[in-house]
Amino acid sequence: MHKIALLLLSFVLLESSAQVNVNDSIQIRKIYSEALSNSPSYTQLRYLCKKIGNRLSGSPQAAKAVAWGEIEMKKIADKVLMQEVMVPHWVRGPKEKATLIVDGKVNKALYVLALGGSVATPKAGITAEILAVDSLSHLKKLGEKVKGKIVFFRRPMDATLINTFDAYGDAGDQRRQGPSEAAKYGAVAVIVRSLGLAADNYPHTGMLSYLPDVPKIPAAAISTNTANDLDKLIAQGKKLALEISISSQMLPDEKSYNVVGEIKGSQYPEEIIVVGGHLDSWDVGEGAHDDGTGCVQSMEVLRIFKALGIKPKRTIRAVLFMNEENGVKGGEKYAELAKLNNEKNIAAIESDAGGHTPRGFDFSDSPENFKKWMPYFAPYDIKHFEKGYPGTDIHPLEPSGTVLIGFLPDSQRYFDYHHTDNDVFENVNKRELEMGSATIASLVYLLSEYGVK
């Protein structure tokens, strides 16, 4: 009884000092308590990772994940929608092979991982000299010297940037555009230093973007440790070559689905609040942080509302998007259907930054409109309400005027796992995952009560 009295007193003081509603503060406290006491999300994530595994679009595992998502949504939603979408189907094929040659002598085998969408090498593989490049502008300066070489993009992520997503964005041009830019000058293949800050042996895959009027050349990632080793050999004046073999291919598109669960609003049902993550993952690891955590957190929002008997004023949709990693077809399909059906999606929250400790939210525009709610989150150490990039799957909703919001967990460890064999269930912390669910659900609650104005 004493604890309850103190809790109520703290809410009264909060209300008087920050002009917040004590009833909303109490409801948010209940949301956190429910998420931290009764959540099935960690168990759901274990099943998704261990029983289904990685889930690249078009794969049998992706189809199993869709079926699983539909079953889970039916437990918590008033209505479940299956949005059909055609998705690309790229397959890696047999394990890639690479052998380093130093001063004309075979040195050692390297672990490489083809970038998503990469074409295959000839069956006999490719053997060529390695040419180290620091940036796309450096590549351009080298010009004809690139011809016949395997270009090694060696620029690391900037470790001095506190937000690791900023570092990822800055260094990512060499992965996304590097293969086509190198092909312009006659390169025969590309290897890229993985986009991660840890010194380890895990190559990071990820999507590349081929230009339509440039030859497509094979491209693979190497681990940060391997990249550091190559840098040392280059500094010693060694002549490096690589023999590499990749067997990937693009197959015809496959039919898949977005899984959508809905709780209808009690007062403004035509106003929709979306919360989502992407069900697909890359074909390595288990897709735990990217983005199994976002999927179970999105479903948890609906479950919490049901468990606490909260009747949202506005309609809430949890969306498990398909094909974020290599096409964004699910996000585009959701926006297309929303426009076709004249839906009013007033806000969309994306959870696709991992399941670590919650820090706050990024807003596509005008975060000041929502900073009035920051006092509600202060007891939970949620302090970040700033302008930033909200997410890939909800981005297609931007032209319709939807307020886009990205859930932001702590970013320091995310790129230790991102797009690697190391993105497994064991690297997700149960309490951090549940704290994130509660944080998202609390913002959804406020949006449901008061809208976006």
Q: Say if CB 125 and CB 243 are below 8 A apart.
A: yes
Over its C-alpha atoms, the chain yields an Rg (Å, rounded) of 24
- Which of 247, 275, 296 corresponds to the end of one domain? 247
Encode pLDDT of 371-389 as tens digits. Answer: 999 999 999 999 999 999 9
In a domain? residue 1? no
pLDDT at res. 365: 85
In a domain? residue 7? no
For every one of its 453 residues, what pLDDT tens digit does the chain have, with 9 covering 90 and above? Answer: 445 444 554 554 454 445 789 999 999 999 999 999 999 999 999 999 999 999 999 999 999 999 999 999 999 999 999 999 999 999 999 999 999 999 999 999 999 999 999 999 999 999 999 999 999 999 999 999 999 999 999 999 999 999 999 999 999 999 999 999 999 999 999 999 999 999 999 999 999 999 999 999 999 999 999 999 999 999 999 999 999 999 999 999 999 999 999 999 999 999 999 999 999 999 999 999 999 999 999 999 999 999 999 999 999 999 999 999 999 999 999 999 999 999 999 999 999 999 999 999 999 988 999 999 999 999 999 999 999 999 999 999 999 999 999 999 999 999 999 999 999 999 999 999 999 999 999 999 999 999 998
Q: State the total domains in the chain.
A: 2
Q: Say if CB 361 and CB 407 are below 8 A apart.
A: yes
In a domain? residue 59? yes
Indicate if 269 and 373 belong to the same structural domain. yes
The pTM score is: 0.94
Indicate if 256 and 394 belong to the same structural domain. yes
In a domain? residue 6? no
In a domain? residue 4? no
Indicate if 97 and 24 belong to the same structural domain. no
Indicate if 443 and 299 belong to the same structural domain. yes
In a domain? residue 369? yes
Indicate if 60 and 110 belong to the same structural domain. no
Active-site residue identified among 271, 324, 350, 434: 324
Annotated catalytic, 343?
Answer: no
**Residue 168 to residue 149: CA distance in whole angstroms:** 26
CATH number of the domain residue 44 falls in: 3.40.630.10
Residue 108: give the domain boundaries. Answer: 93-247
- Which of 223, 247, 271 corresponds to the end of one domain? 247
Indicate if 110 and 83 belong to the same structural domain. no
In a domain? residue 3? no
Indicate if 257 and 241 belong to the same structural domain. no
pLDDT at res. 453: 82
Indicate if 324 and 443 belong to the same structural domain. yes
Cα–Cα distance list, 291 to 20, 44, 270, 398 (Å) = 34, 13, 29, 22
Indicate if 299 and 415 belong to the same structural domain. yes
pLDDT at res. 18: 55
Indicate if 98 and 84 belong to the same structural domain. no
Cα–Cα distance list, 252 to 56, 110, 249, 255 (Å) = 14, 31, 10, 10
Indicate if 361 and 256 belong to the same structural domain. yes
CATH number of the domain residue 174 falls in: 3.50.30.30
- Which of 247, 268, 294 corresponds to the end of one domain? 247
In a domain? residue 322? yes
Indicate if 238 and 142 belong to the same structural domain. yes
